[in-house]
Amino acid sequence: MPGHQPGAHHRLVRARTDPLAEGRPTRPFSSRQKAFVLVVFAPFLAEFVSGSTPPQAWLLPQVFLIFMAIYGVSALAIREFAIRIHGGPATILILGLAFGVVNEGMAAHSLFNPGWPDVGVLGSYGRWVGVNWLWTEWIVPFHAVWSISFPIFLVGQFWPESRGTPFLSRRWLAGLAPVPVVVAVVSGLLFAGYNLSWGDWVGMFVTILFLVTVAWRFGPRLSRWRPWPRWSPSAWVGVGAAAAFFLGGQVGTWQTPKLGPYPEVGFVLLAGLFALLGAVAAAFDPSPRGVRARFAFVLTGVGFYVALSPISEFVLGRIGLVPIDVGVWLCLYWLYRRRTSEPLPVREERPLGPSRP
């Protein structure tokens, strides 16, 4: 080629740009770096932002490493598996339920321990065959949404170009997938302070295997299912759905004893609420309008715990939580505005009857 000099071919390569940096060339993150961000971000959101673990505890290396192994590696493995089978959000959510069993059942033993600090009255009300059923009905879906689906969604917003791209090879995925279960079992045996029966362990492993099978066989189909095909929810629907989920679970679950001596009533009501919200979430299609609604759901969920952070800091002693939570929410809101800055396309209204000449 006339005028072509050896070693000058790099001038013809267009530099990659970060859409958040106003077109300035940036050094792209590698897949492993993005994977590491997810492994760190998942436990930060799940345990730190929610106020579940005091900020001071994060200064202990063993705490951070255990959280990364259980929360972070789980989120990463679930993301990689869902991408490989084209599973979509439903696969992530179902596998998130399995993670809830691993975390709260195998690691914390809170699904069975009636004296677990967070369980409260639900350790006796709604307890049957050694399981805290009302607590389980809330905390397992909570982890599926908050600890797994939220971090995976947000990392997809950090790097939109990588949302459908695996971060790991199949060999790395196969090697990392058992890590959360192994760490959860070992940490539970060492630190949970509550002995489980063989039946408890068998029940958890059977439940996890069942959920993984459902996610694998039916997750992709459920992700494509639209209960109302002609309805694409707005961002305000996402706000309302998140408020109903977190208020109904975080507050409503502990109000069920007021319904009377039959915990089955509260169990059915919560199941109905979660089923309805699941149908609404299924309407969040991949269109820009659907992404806005999903992002609004995430922002509202994070905002719920930001609103609770003064209680966590000034009553429970989570020193420094309020400014950090507020800063996290403001950063996510800024990201939301940047990712949704383009106007939505105008939806054409179809005539109800035949047109007249």
Distance CA 235, CA 66 (A): 36
Asked whether the predicted pLDDT for residue 14 surpasses 50, the reply is no
pLDDT of 232: 87
Asked whether the predicted pLDDT for residue 15 surpasses 70, the reply is no
Dmax of the chain from CA atoms?
Answer: 88
Q: Which two tokens stand for residue 312?
A: 């966590």
Q: What is the DSSP letter of 231?
A: -
Write out pLDDT tens, residues 301-317.
999 999 999 998 898 88
Q: Indicate the pLDDT class of residue 25, thresholds 50, 70 and 90.
A: low
Distance CA 194, CA 114 (A): 10
pLDDT of 103: 97
HSE, side-chain direction, 13 A CA sphere, residue 45:
32
Distance CA 207, CA 95 (A): 11
- Burial letters for 50-61: b for 16+ Cβ neighbours within 10 Å, e otherwise? bbebbbeeeeee
Q: What is the mean pLDDT of residues 303-332?
A: 92
Strand, helix or coil for residue 35: helix
According to DSSP, the residues that pair with 132 across neighbouring strands are 127
Distance CA 159, CA 339 (A): 11
- The percentage of residues in the chain with a pLDDT greater than 90, rounded to a whole number, is 74
Torsion, CA 228, CA 232, CA 236, CA 237, rounded to 10: 20
Strand, helix or coil for residue 128: strand
Asked whether the predicted pLDDT for residue 4 surpasses 60, the reply is no
Sign of dihedral through CA atoms 138, 140, 141, 144?
positive
Contact by Cβ (8 Å): 204, 90:
no
* Prediction pTM value: 0.87
Q: Indicate the pLDDT class of residue 9, thresholds 50, 70 and 90.
A: very low
Q: Which two tokens stand for residue 326?
A: 């507020």
HSE, side-chain direction, 13 A CA sphere, residue 297:
28
Asked whether the predicted pLDDT for residue 16 surpasses 70, the reply is no
Q: What is the mean pLDDT of residues 150-174?
A: 95
Distance CA 266, CA 40 (A): 36
If one counts every other C-beta atom within 10 angstroms of the C-beta of residue 48, the result is 20
pLDDT of 342: 63
Write out pLDDT tens, residues 57-113.
888 889 999 999 999 999 999 999 999 999 999 999 999 999 999 999 999 999 999
pLDDT of 343: 61
**Mean of pLDDT over the chain:** 88
Q: What is the DSSP letter of 256?
A: G
pLDDT of 7: 42
Q: What is the DSSP letter of 285?
A: -
